[in-house]
Amino acid sequence: MVLQDLDLGTEQARQIFDAAGAVAFHPSLDYVVVFQLALLADEARRPLDTLAFLNALSQLPERMCPGMEEVDLALVKAANYMDLGAMRDAAACLLLDTAGKEPDTALRRYSLVMRRLLSTDEFDAALYLVSPTQDIVDAGHGSPWWRLQGASAVAQWVASAADPGFGQLWPSARARLERAFSEYVDSGASEGLGSQYVGNVVTALQKTQRAAEAVDLSSWALPVAAESNNPRETLFTLCDNAVSLFCCERFAESAMVLESVHQRAREVGDAEAMGWAVNYLRDFGVFSGSPAYSQALERLR
């Protein structure tokens, strides 16, 4: 395909996209060709073209080639709707495209799109995905890894909510997240850093001035993370706890936790986590004016 050999931002590429779009719905076009056109348009950040090619693709007999199954077209479609600012359309199309899919696929799609919507404060659009996500998690369907991500996305949405909604929804959202994180750790799974999905919720609580809840959640997560075979689960959770304590102006406790992060990271040879601790101590010392942080830094030298 000529487009694959071109800089997709050039005028020549634009003209080829325009010409291809004009014949995208012709029945003689091959499924694989339109599939490639959709991905190239996505790479070129041409959302209207991408959506047109995906629409045309849905009307052709499916013909899969090696590697094509690795591309989730439903996520590509949702991302391009979001690029156009059509956030509710993105959520609605994702629900339609995911109907009848197996739980892991649904949880992966819903959690990824919900987190992107929340990153741009699109709370109303994210709401479309909250109920179907929590329904799957509450039913115990899917793997522990994807249940954790689904529970995290729902709890992040709740943590971002205004009162009185937060007060009404937070207890069940937190309980769901706690259960999912505990089940992930107990399963012995190692797909990724599970504590980051508790951390996403802790960060959302910090941003909405709910520092006490952030301290409480990160404190709860510490002994659970410690049961994991991955030392970084604990280090990551300790950092979340230290930041939350800082937000509560509990500076001495925050500095003590960060000092512990550095010591634990040194014991397991995690230089990156040691850097986290040093950077937090330095920055928090400047922001707070508290000597606790500089004193902790001195002890680490």
| 7-18 confidence digits (pLDDT tens) | 556 665 666 666
Residue 201's pLDDT is what? Answer: 98
CB neighbour list of residue 168: distance below 8 Å, 6 or more residues apart: none
Q: Which of 16-30, 53-67, 71-85, 132-146 has the lowest mean pLDDT?
A: 16-30
Residues 158-197: pLDDT tens digits? 999 988 899 999 999 999 999 999 999 999 877 789 999 9
Cis? peptide before 103, omega within 30° of 0: no
Q: How many CB atoms lie within 10 A of CB 165?
A: 12
Cβ(41)–Cβ(20) below 8 Å = no
> Does residue 120 carry a pLDDT above 90?
yes
Residue 189's pLDDT is what? Answer: 78
Residue 30's pLDDT is what? Answer: 83
The domain spans of the chain are 213-301
Residues 68-80: pLDDT tens digits? 889 999 999 999 9
Stronger pLDDT, 2 or 110, i.e. the higher one: 110
Average pLDDT of the residues in 207-225: 97
> Does residue 26 carry a pLDDT above 80?
no
Dist. CA 239–CA 236, nearest whole Å: 5
Average pLDDT of the residues in 265-275: 97
Cβ(117)–Cβ(78) below 8 Å = no
Residue carrying structure tokens 């797909």: 191
**Minimal CA–CA distance to 206: which of 195, 193, 215, 196?**
215
Dist. CA 193–CA 181, nearest whole Å: 11
Average pLDDT of the residues in 102-108: 98
Average pLDDT of the residues in 107-123: 97
> Does residue 239 carry a pLDDT above 70?
yes
Dist. CA 19–CA 52, nearest whole Å: 13
Residue 3: which pLDDT band, with cuts at 50, 70 and 90? very low
285-288-294 Cα angle (round to 5): 20
Exposure string over 100-131, b if 16+ CB within 10 A, otherwise e:
eeebbebbbbbbbbbbbbbeeebbebbebbbe
Dist. CA 50–CA 80, nearest whole Å: 7
The token pair that represents 257 in the structure block: 């936790």
Residue 24's pLDDT is what? Answer: 62
Give alpha helix (H) positions in the chain. Answer: 11-22, 31-43, 47-57, 73-83, 87-98, 103-119, 123-138, 144-159, 165-187, 195-207, 211-226, 231-247, 251-268, 271-288, 291-300
Average model confidence (pLDDT) for the chain? 92
The token pair that represents 152 in the structure block: 């995290």
